[in-house]
């Protein structure tokens, strides 16, 4: 179908504006001409997609192969975020990502892995998978490695598995959150966290206990840790218990738990942050729009994903990948859910 010249011009202009390049560059990319930097080419592709135009046939690349990406669920918005970022980096590298998202009662990690193997994936990235569960049998991962399947493990280091491992530094995260609350004058600080058989939970608890000892002296720090589930309801239950026992500040194991903690405070007629300060974990998408906007510890999702994909691609290329865990530093994003401790 021929496009009138005027429409063609509008489209070039739109694309150039969106991509931040000249119309000449857009035209070169669309016509497959040389002399365009990879960054400009990628910007034009993104602009085509963002504005919803179809890519011309000649801009399509043949996939280098399949990579499985296993995430535990999509309810916590940090997992769709990881999925989207890892997928786009895989695609930039010519791999087609297949996202395996679990849900309670649905397809399990093992079932997904079986399917991925049946379909000869080139490698698998596990995000918060069973490798993070200290009670899970690691034989499943040893079996994959003995078949020479390249793996990368994100957020849940298991020393025994022969694979690169990438995590957000949970101990550092807890120290960031704790220090922020102490500086605001809080002394009754609690931790609301999910099941303790997961490595990230154990590390966050350790970080909390370390920070407690460092900032508030010895004491019975364990009394300030309440273990429930990593959900809104889990946060609500844990926070209720911490508020009842006189805490003025609650650090949560996930942003969802933090939203539950805000709800628990309000149910008791308390204000966040005037009466109770709440810190989340993840900095999930949209969390800046909550009431109040959540102070939270941001996982560096993009750099973690970049390293995960690099480590996987090295292995696929037959190069050795680092075996020691790569720890990524989180940052504290201060918004409206934390404030100075109430003077009691």
Among 8, 31, 50, 214, binds a copy of itself (CB under 8 A): 50
C-alpha to C-alpha distance for 177 and 171, rounded to whole angstroms: 10
Exposed, middle or buried, 246 (CB in 10 Å: 0-12/13-18/19+)?
A: exposed
C-alpha to C-alpha distance for 275 and 243, rounded to whole angstroms: 10
Task: Please state the closest distance from residue 294 (CB atom) to a copy of itself, in A.
Answer: 9
Task: Please state the closest distance from residue 218 (CB atom) to a copy of itself, in A.
Answer: 31
Among 32, 106, 219, 322, binds a copy of itself (CB under 8 A): 106
- What is the residue whose two structure tokens read 């994003």? 333
Among 30, 123, 127, 133, binds a copy of itself (CB under 8 A): 133
Exposed, middle or buried, 54 (CB in 10 Å: 0-12/13-18/19+)?
A: exposed
Q: Does residue 233 touch a copy of itself according to CB under 8 A? A: no
Residues numbered 272-331 forming contacts with a copy of itself, rule: CB under 8 A: 285-286, 289-293
C-alpha to C-alpha distance for 337 and 180, rounded to whole angstroms: 12
Task: Please state the closest distance from residue 282 (CB atom) to a copy of itself, in A.
Answer: 12
- What is the residue whose two structure tokens read 């093992």? 110
3-state secondary structure of 342: coil
Which is it for strands 295-298 and 331-333: parallel, antiparallel or unpaired? antiparallel
Among 119, 142, 187, 268, binds a copy of itself (CB under 8 A): 119
C-alpha to C-alpha distance for 341 and 247, rounded to whole angstroms: 10
Residue 165 forms beta bridges with which residues? 153
User: Which residue, 155 or 224, is less far from a copy of itself as judged by CB?
Assistant: 155
Task: Please state the closest distance from residue 99 (CB atom) to a copy of itself, in A.
Answer: 4
Residue in 109, 111, 116, 107 with CA at minimum distance from that of residue 133: 109
Task: Please state the closest distance from residue 322 (CB atom) to a copy of itself, in A.
Answer: 26
Tokens linked to 205: 């608890």
DSSP 191: E
Pick the stretch among 102-110, 153-161, 213-221, 240-248 that binds a copy of itself (CB under 8 A).
102-110
Task: Please state the closest distance from residue 311 (CB atom) to a copy of itself, in A.
Answer: 19
Q: Does residue 74 touch a copy of itself according to CB under 8 A? A: yes
What backbone torsions phi and psi does residue 4 show, to the nearest 5 degrees? -60, 150
Residues 6 or more apart whose CB falls under 8 angstroms from that of 280 comprise: 252, 254, 255, 257, 258, 259, 287, 294, 295, 296, 297, 337
Q: Does residue 139 touch a copy of itself according to CB under 8 A? A: no
User: Which residue, 188 or 303, is less far from a copy of itself as judged by CB?
Assistant: 303
Q: Does residue 117 touch a copy of itself according to CB under 8 A? A: no
Q: List contacts with a copy of itself (CB under 8 A).
A: 42, 45-47, 49-52, 54-55, 60-61, 63, 66, 73-75, 77, 79-81, 83-84, 87-88, 90-92, 96-108, 110-112, 114-115, 119, 130, 133, 135-137, 195, 197-198, 229, 259, 262, 285-286, 289-293
């Amino acid at each position: 179908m021929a496009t009138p010249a005027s429409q063609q011009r509008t489209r070039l202009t739109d694309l150039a504006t969106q991509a931040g390049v000249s119309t000449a560059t857009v035209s070169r990319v669309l016509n497959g001409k040389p002399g365009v930097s990879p960054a400009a080419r990628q910007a034009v592709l993104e602009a085509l997609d963002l504005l919803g135009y179809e890519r011309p046939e000649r801009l399509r690349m043949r996939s280098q192969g399949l990579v499985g990406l296993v995430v535990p669920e999509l309810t916590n918005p940090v997992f769709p975020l990881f999925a989207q970022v890892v997928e786009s980096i895989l695609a930039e590298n010519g791999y087609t990502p297949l996202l395996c998202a679990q849900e309670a009662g649905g397809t399990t990690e093992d079932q997904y892995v079986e399917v991925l193997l049946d379909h000869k994936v080139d490698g698998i990235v596990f995000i918060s998978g069973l490798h993070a569960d200290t009670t899970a049998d690691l034989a499943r991962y040893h079996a994959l490695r003995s078949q020479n399947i390249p793996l990368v493990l994100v957020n849940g280091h298991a020393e025994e598995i022969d694979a690169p491992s990438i995590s957000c530094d949970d101990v550092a995260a807890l120290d960031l959150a704790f220090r922020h609350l102490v500086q605001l004058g809080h002394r009754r600080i609690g931790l609301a966290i999910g099941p303790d058989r997961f490595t990230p939970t154990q590390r966050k608890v350790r970080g909390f206990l370390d920070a407690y000892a460092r900032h508030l002296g010895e004491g019975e720090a364990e009394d300030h840790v309440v273990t429930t589930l990593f959900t809104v309801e889990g946060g609500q239950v844990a926070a209720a218990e911490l508020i009842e026992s006189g805490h003025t500040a609650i650090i949560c194991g996930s942003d969802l738990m933090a939203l539950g903690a805000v709800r628990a405070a309000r149910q008791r007629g308390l204000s966040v942050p005037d009466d109770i300060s709440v810190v989340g974990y993840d900095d999930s998408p949209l969390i800046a729009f909550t009431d109040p906007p959540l102070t939270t510890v941001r996982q560096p999702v993009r750099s973690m994903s970049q390293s995960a994909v690099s480590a996987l691609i090295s292995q696929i290329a037959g190069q050795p990948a680092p075996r020691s865990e790569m720890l990524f530093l989180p940052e504290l994003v201060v918004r409206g859910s934390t404030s100075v401790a109430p003077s009691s």
